[in-house]
Structures are given as structure tokens and as C-alpha cells.
Amino acid sequence: MADAIIPSTCVECATHCGSLVTVRDGTVVDIAPNPKHPFSQGAFCIKGIRGLKDGTYQESRPLHPLKRTGARGEGKFARISWDEALDYAAENFARVRAEYGPPSLCGAVSNANQSRGVFLCLMLRSFGSPNWMINQDLCTGCRAVSDRATGLGIHFGEDIRNAACALVVGRNPSAADPAQWLALKELKKRGGRIVALDPARTPVCELADVWLRPRPGTDAAIAMAMIHWLIEQGCYDKDFVQTWTVGFDKLAARAANYTPARAAELTGVPADDIIAAARHYADGPAVLVAGHGIDAFSAGVQTARAFHCLVAVSGNLDRKGGNRRNKKPNGFRGTLEILHDPAFRLPLEIEKQTLGADKYPLWAGPEGWQTACHNPTVIEAMLTGKPYPVRAMYVSGVNIAVTYPDTQRTVAALKALDFLCVVTSTMTPTALLADLVLPKTTGLEEDEVMLQPAGPCLDYMQAAIPPRGEARDDFWIARALIDRMAERQSITRDLMPWRTKREYIAYTLKESGIPLETLAAQGFATFPYRLGNFDRKIELYSEKLAKLGLDPLPDHVPPTRERIAQPDGFPLVLLTGAREKSYHHSRFREMAWARKVSPDPVLQMNPDTARAEGVATDDWVALETPSGQGTCRLRIKVTDDVLPGVVRTGMGWWLPEATDDPLRGATTININAAMGYAGPYDPMSGSADTRGLMCRIKRIAA
């Protein structure tokens, strides 16, 4: 039989590269880039080529429902049928619901940028619970809250291909996003300029015309100084500011506090370099490419707002070569829209009970970005029963025992539950703690239509093969569980009005007029859109934040270590989350090729610091922070890529092969085991510090 080549989309990371999947005799034999995809244009990476295929065919993949047989966390399971599994889950959810009330049920997923987040949320809402967790407080949450508060609406619409200058802030595209990286290299080739802000040297810093190395967590002072310089030089966009912004005078007055000289003091970056950066940015069109390096910390929203206001006053908003506002096909229903649609909501008084909504209303609950919870508040509730008990959980598409800070506490919370159900295609440390493991399809076995803001286009991931074993997709599982709960009179209202995922996809596409056939034929569909599309004013000064008692203007907020007294004996500043090409967070750790590329968790350290600490490359150390319960084992790499006094590591480590450890290394080799999750929190997004923390190291045996 001839090979079939199926145009699809890789969804192993948020880049969503267009892919071509070759199937021979019912088996996927090759995954390659689709050069016709409007955004990725042939960019691709090893995770998409090998990770997805090997993950689908790996021997250790759970292919049948598994019920715990040993003690919780012992990792002993027995195969059961889907019927038994669904009844077992429904019985437990119904029992907990009856005993402790609907909000005692919760869920966890990575986010609702894809449909599995929608299904998880709507399933819990159907059960009567507003409680579901996303990991975006650790990811892109601060940028998202700022984006909403200012009204910019630019989440991931960087028009690098038409820009004259790219301002790359806390973003490492060569590792994190090959499509963005390709576009930046092309920009440079055609004579465009790059300004990079990163305390560490990454490939984009080497490509940059100006590389600023701020002390971690201080970037907002640079953005404020750039705003000040643009205003002072008169090279901001006066027409745009007048027509489409509010609060310009107040912003200008705030920014006037940040002369380049003052910003230099606050950040450690020479004043001349800040001016050079502002000059390049002013010579646009210029695009802001902001990454995780300015997110996921306790001053993240204020930092993001400073850069977002820079985009607005410079007029680089929704214009060619700038930051495009969110575009979608007319009539298409996106995931966030569905979450916020009154047709799929619980009564307001129930949604107000969302854990964390009282403290972080811009993040959690009915008014929040994705309407999810504040995670540390949920973990607290699992452990203490306060403000009310959370006793059963459904987890899909996250590995929270590894990826949430304070691993020990997360694990204790999971163990304290009456019932834990994990939907997965890998036996992760989180799955090993479950009472019930449900086998999940992979990106080669299911269909998904997604909005791709960077295209902009719609992407289609289409099933290339039927599910292996008895794996099922997130829709099927959520649908089946709602039905079983309904049989037990244990739902509040069925808020998932579709019977199949096809019906759901048809619902999202219906009014857009884009036929599924177009998506199936190409793997994507483009749509017409307009630039310069404004319907309301951009809030440089935010009335909403003022009403919440929060700072209505962006500002430099000193990082925690400068704001709050720190215990003695922690001399180093820690950066976590450095992306590696062979891993996606905690994924692919079981794959030999990935482990060959990156065998150990590494701690980068400047030669001066290494000398002072008495360590050398390949030494093993145990790292500790003041707020962590445990330590993390790391291998030293001495390099001047990092500033003196700053150490940098990745994230997501666990050891699938360490079968003598029930948590497979999650509490020994995982940086989150050495970090706390108890705040301080960003007052707007509730994000905790995942970077810029103080730490110390001790040499240990290899």
C-alpha cells in the first residue's frame, strides 16, 4: 500500500508547527515539517520529529485503564475495563460530591488554549464545581493579565516577518520556538535589528545588535526608561496615543522617574545601552517578543505592563511589523470565548467560590483570564480543608508532581485526597500517585482545531492512526464521566452539549464558514483579517486596577530578594526553567535519544562564582532555597553565559528508570523540590517567584 502523507499540526508545544505525517501500513513512520504552514514555514524541532512518535509507540505507555492495587503512591496497578474504570471514577466523584459538596471536586490541566482545558473545565462545571487548575501562573499568566488589563489583546501576535526591529525580552527562541527563531534570523539577514534583554547569553543575544543583561527581575525599569526616552525625544506615536489610549500624562509622569541613569542603577545595565535600545526600538516598525523570563514571578504583571505600554505609546500596536492584536475568523468560537460564554457557566454565586477568586480576581474565578483557580490556594485547601475541603481530583495533560513548585507539598496534597484520577499517555510521577490511570490518546491519534495567533491561522491536528490499545481522547473521557455522574444524579447541569468531539469541532467552526475539509486538506486554514482594528482605548492607566486597590500604572517593583529581607547564607541568585531542545518540560525523559542529548540536570555558573564556591564543571551539588523543603541535585557547568552571582538551571527533571523511588526522582533531581510555592505572589496574577530567588549550593558525591 502506498504511504499516506497527512497534513497536520504538531501540538507538542505551543508553537504549533505545521507537520506532514507519513503513515505506512497503519503505522506512523515519519513526521516532517510542512513548509506551506503560514507561520512555521518549515521550522520544526526534534521534539516534533521524535518525541511524539516515540511517545505514541513507547513500550511503557499505558494502553488500558489501570486501577491502583498497592498503597497510594506505591505504583502498583491492575488492568481494568473502561466500564469498570468509568464506574469507579463516577462512584468516587459522586461520593465525595455528596459528602463535601460539589466544589470539593477539582481538576488540573495545562491551560484552556486547547480543547482539553475546555472539556476539563466544563466537566467540573457540570459536576457543580468551579475549581480547576491551570499551570499558567507558572507560564504566561503575568503577560496575559497585563494584556487584558491594558486592553492590548496581543497575546502571541508578533509580526517579526515585517518588523525592522525586534525587542526580545526574556525569551530564548532558539530553544523555545523554532518558528520564531527562524523569523528572527530572517529579520537579521534582511538588515533588521535585534535588541535582546537577558541576564544569560542565549543564541538570540549573540545575534543581537544590543544585548542588555539586567539583574534578574529588574526589566521593568528598562521599559520605563525606554518609555521616558521616547516621550522626551518626542518620538512616540502622538496620533495613536491621543486617539487610542487613556492615561498618557500619568504614564509620562511615572516614567519620568526612570531616567536612563536611574534605570542603570536599578538594573546593572549601562545607561548608554538603554538609550541605544530605545533608539533602535523607536526606529520601527518594532515588535516586542516577550518571553517567560519576565513572567512567572511576583512582579510579573507590572513588568509586562511596562513593556505593553511601550508597545502602545510607540504605536507598534496592530500595525505591520508590530504586535498584532488577536485575530480570528469571523464566527469562530475560541476556547476562552467558550469558557466565558454564559451558556456554559455556573451561577455567579458558585463561580465566586472559585479558590483564589477573592484574592486574585483578575486571575481566578468568573472575571479571571481563564476562570481557573489560584493553584497554591487549592493545594492549601487539599491539605487543610480551608476555606473548604477539596477531596477529589481529575488531572489531564499536566505532571504537577514535577512541574509545580514545592514538590513535597504537592505530593502530600495529592496523597491526602480521597480520590485521584490521572489521564495520561506516560506513567509520570503524578500518574504513579493516582487511584485510577486512564489511557490518553496522543497527537497522532486525535483531531483538534486550534486558533494559531502567530499565523494568524486555524491549525488542524488530524488523527493519522486510530488510538493504540484502549486509549481515548479527553472529550470522550469527560463525556463518559458526565454521563455516568448523571446516572447517579450527581451533576448540577450538563454543560457539555456535544456528544462527540466532531460535534464540538463543528460547533466551533460552524459560523466561521471554514469547512473542515479545507483544514483536512492543508492542515491549516488562513482567513482574512484587518490591521489597525481598535474598538476601545488602551489603558495606560487602568481604572479597573485602581478600583481593586492595585497600582493603576506600570512600575518597576524591586524583585523579592531586594524587597523582602532574606535569611543569611543564600548568596546566589537562581534562574530556573532554561529550555532544552530535547525536552518539553517533564516530557520525553524516558526516551534514550533525549537523555543522550541532555543526560543530567545542569547548573550554569560563572567562572568567578565557581572559584568562590570551590566547584568546577561536572561537580555535583545540592541546591537549596530559603523557602524550599528539600534540595535538588545538579551538575555544574562553568560558563560566562551567566552573570557572576547568578546560577541558571532548567526544569522538569525526573528519572523514569529510578524504579526503586516511588516518585522517580521528583523530590531529588527536580528543581521544584528545592523551591517554595507559598509566595510572595504577584498581587494581580497570583504568580509566585520561579526565578530570581536566593539560593545556596553544597558539593555532593556524584
Ligand X SMILES: Nc1nc2c(c(=O)[nH]1)N[C@H]1C(S)=C(S)[C@@H](COP(=O)(O)OP(=O)(O)OC[C@H]3O[C@@H](n4cnc5c(=O)[nH]c(N)nc54)[C@H](O)[C@@H]3O)O[C@H]1N2
- Footprint on this chain of ligand SF4 (rule: CB under 6 A): 10, 12-13, 15-17, 44-45, 47-48, 178
CA 211 from centroid of its chain's CA atoms: 25
Binds 667: which of ligand SF4, ligand X, Mo ion, none (CB < 5-8 Å by kind): none
Q: Which three cell numbers stand for residue 151?
A: 486592553
Q: Which residues are within 8 A (CB) of 546 and not within 5 positions of it... i.e. 6 or more apart?
A: 552
Q: Measured from the CB atom, is 428 or 508 closer to ligand X?
A: 428
Binds 199: which of Mo ion, ligand X, ligand SF4, none (CB < 5-8 Å by kind): ligand X
* Least gap, CB of 562 to ligand X (angstroms): 12
Binds 10: which of ligand X, Mo ion, ligand SF4, none (CB < 5-8 Å by kind): ligand SF4
* Least gap, CB of 261 to ligand SF4 (angstroms): 41
* Least gap, CB of 384 to ligand SF4 (angstroms): 39
Interface mask (CB under 5 A) for Mo ion, residues 350-379, using x and -?
------------------------------
3-state secondary structure of 482: helix
- Site residues, ligand X (CB under 6 A): 13-14, 110, 116, 135, 138-140, 169-172, 175-177, 197-200, 202, 214, 216-217, 219, 291-294, 396-400, 403, 405, 423-426, 428, 440, 474, 575-581, 583-587, 648, 651-652, 671-672, 675, 690-691
Q: Which residues are within 8 A (CB) of 148 and not within 5 positions of it... i.e. 6 or more apart?
A: 362, 369
| Max Cα distance, the chain (Å) | 71
Compute, in degrees rounded to 10, the torsion defined by CA atoms 232, 233, 237, 242: 40
610 membership: H or E segment, kind and range: helix 607-613
Rounded alpha-carbon distances, angstroms, from residue 160 to 183, 189, 524: 6, 12, 20
* Least gap, CB of 25 to ligand X (angstroms): 25
Should residue 139 be labelled a site residue for Mo ion when binding is judged by CB under 5 A? yes
Q: Which residue is nearest to ligand SF4 (CB)?
A: 48
Instruction: Please state, in angstroms and rounded to a whole number, the distance separating the CA atoms of residues 668 and 429.
Output: 12
Q: Which residues are within 8 A (CB) of 139 and not within 5 positions of it... i.e. 6 or more apart?
A: 111, 292, 295, 296
Binds 423: which of Mo ion, ligand X, ligand SF4, none (CB < 5-8 Å by kind): ligand X
Binds 170: which of ligand X, Mo ion, ligand SF4, none (CB < 5-8 Å by kind): ligand X
Q: Measured from the CB atom, is 139 or 195 closer to Mo ion?
A: 139
Partnered with residue 647 across adjacent β-strands are 574, 605
* Least gap, CB of 45 to ligand X (angstroms): 7
Binds 115: which of Mo ion, ligand X, ligand SF4, none (CB < 5-8 Å by kind): none
Q: Measured from the CB atom, is 33 or 192 closer to ligand SF4?
A: 33
Segment 176 to 195, residues that bind Mo ion, using CB under 5 A: none
Instruction: Please state, in angstroms and rounded to a whole number, the distance separating the CA atoms of residues 333 and 148.
Output: 19
Should residue 13 be labelled a site residue for Mo ion when binding is judged by CB under 5 A? no
Contacts by residues 529-534 (CB-CB < 8 Å, ≥ 24 positions apart): 529/327, 529/456, 531/318, 531/319, 531/320, 531/324, 532/318, 532/319, 533/318, 533/325, 534/244, 534/318
Q: Measured from the CB atom, is 117 or 366 closer to ligand X?
A: 117
Cβ atoms of 334 and 451 closer than 8 Å: yes
Binds 17: which of ligand SF4, ligand X, Mo ion, none (CB < 5-8 Å by kind): ligand SF4
* Least gap, CB of 394 to ligand SF4 (angstroms): 26
- Which amino acid belongs to residue 37? H
Q: Measured from the CB atom, is 139 or 411 closer to Mo ion?
A: 139
DSSP collapsed to 3 states, 130-152: CCEECHHHHCCHHHHHHHHHHCC
Q: Measured from the CB atom, is 15 or 40 closer to Mo ion?
A: 15
Q: Which residue is nearest to Mo ion (CB)?
A: 139
Binds 44: which of ligand SF4, Mo ion, ligand X, none (CB < 5-8 Å by kind): ligand SF4
Should residue 398 be labelled a site residue for Mo ion when binding is judged by CB under 5 A? no
Residue 498, sorted as left (phi over 0), alpha (psi -120 to 50) or beta, turns out to be beta
Instruction: Please state, in angstroms and rounded to a whole number, the distance separating the CA atoms of residues 173 and 349.
Output: 43
- Which amino acid belongs to residue 328? K
Residues lying near Mo ion in the complex (CB under 5 A): 139
